[in-house]
C-alpha cells in the first residue's frame, strides 16, 4: 500500500530522476575557464568510497535492529552522493576531458598508447559505462526507497532496499575503481 507521504513526493522523485541526469548531460557542454579544480577527482572518489562504507554500515545497523542509526547512515550516504555529484560536475565543467591511456596528455590516443592500454581500456570503458548507466538508474531507486522508509512503509521499504542497495553499492565502488584506473592519465 502506498502512503499519502509517498504520493506527495512522487512528483518530486520523477522530476529529480529526469532533471538530474538531464542537467548533468547539459553541463558537460559547458566549459568554464579560470578555475583550477584538478584536486577534485580524488575528493569525489573518496566520497564514493565513503558512500560504500556507509551503505554497508547502514545494512549492518538495520540487521541489528538499530533503525535510527540506519536512518542517519542512509542520510549520510545520500549526502555523500550529492557532494560527489557537485564535485564531479564542478571538475568536468572546468577541466579538460581525460582519455584513458593518454600518457602524453595530448587528448589523442596515439598508436603506442592504444597498443599499450588496449586490453585494460575495454575493462575501463565497460566499468565506466555500467557506472554511468546505473548511477542514473539509482536516482529514483534511492529516492523511492528513502521515502518509503520515512513514510513508515517498512515492508515496501525493505523490498526496495534489497534491490537498491546492490546497485548503489556497485555505483559507489565502481566510481572508486574508475578513478583509480583513469588517475594516471590526468594532466
Quote the CA–CA distance of 25 and 111 in Å, as a whole number.
30
Q: Which residue range is the domain that position 130 belongs to?
A: 4-26+38-185
pTM for this structure?
A: 0.92
Cβ neighbours around 180 below 10 Å, total: 11
In 3-state terms, what secondary structure has residue 144?
helix
One digit per residue, the tens of pLDDT, for the chain of length 187 reads 889 999 999 999 999 999 999 999 999 889 999 999 999 999 999 999 999 999 999 999 999 999 999 999 999 999 999 999 999 999 999 998 899 999 998 989 999 999 999 999 999 999 999 999 999 999 999 999 999 999 999 999 999 999 999 999 999 999 999 999 999 998 7
Residue 51 lies in a domain: yes
Residue 167 lies in a domain: yes
CATH number assigned to the domain comprising residue 114: 1.20.120.80
Quote the CA–CA distance of 155 and 1 in Å, as a whole number.
10
Amino acid at each position: 500500500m502506498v502512503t499519502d507521504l509517498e504520493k506527495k513526493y512522487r512528483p518530486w522523485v520523477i522530476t529529480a530522476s529526469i532533471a538530474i541526469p538531464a542537467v548533468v548531460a547539459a553541463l558537460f557542454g559547458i566549459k568554464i575557464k579560470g578555475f583550477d579544480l584538478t584536486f577534485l577527482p580524488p575528493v569525489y572518489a573518496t566520497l564514493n568510497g565513503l558512500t560504500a562504507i556507509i551503505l554497508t554500515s547502514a545494512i549492518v545497523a538495520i540487521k541489528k535492529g538499530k533503525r535510527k542509526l540506519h536512518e542517519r547512515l542512509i542520510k549520510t550516504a545520500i549526502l555523500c552522493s550529492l557532494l560527489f555529484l557537485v564535485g564531479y560536475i564542478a571538475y568536468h565543467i572546468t577541466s579538460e576531458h581525460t582519455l584513458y591511456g593518454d600518457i602524453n596528455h595530448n587528448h589523442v590516443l596515439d598508436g603506442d598508447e592504444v597498443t599499450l592500454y588496449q586490453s585494460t581500456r575495454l575493462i575501463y570503458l565497460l566499468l565506466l559505462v555500467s557506472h554511468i548507466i546505473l548511477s542514473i538508474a539509482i536516482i529514483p531507486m534511492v529516492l523511492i526507497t528513502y521515502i518509503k522508509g520515512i513514510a513508515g512503509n517498512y515492508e515496501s521499504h525493505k523490498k526496495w532496499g534489497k534491490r537498491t542497495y546492490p546497485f548503489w553499492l556497485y555505483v559507489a565502488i565502481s566510481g572508486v575503481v574508475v578513478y583509480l584506473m583513469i588517475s594516471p592519465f590526468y594532466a
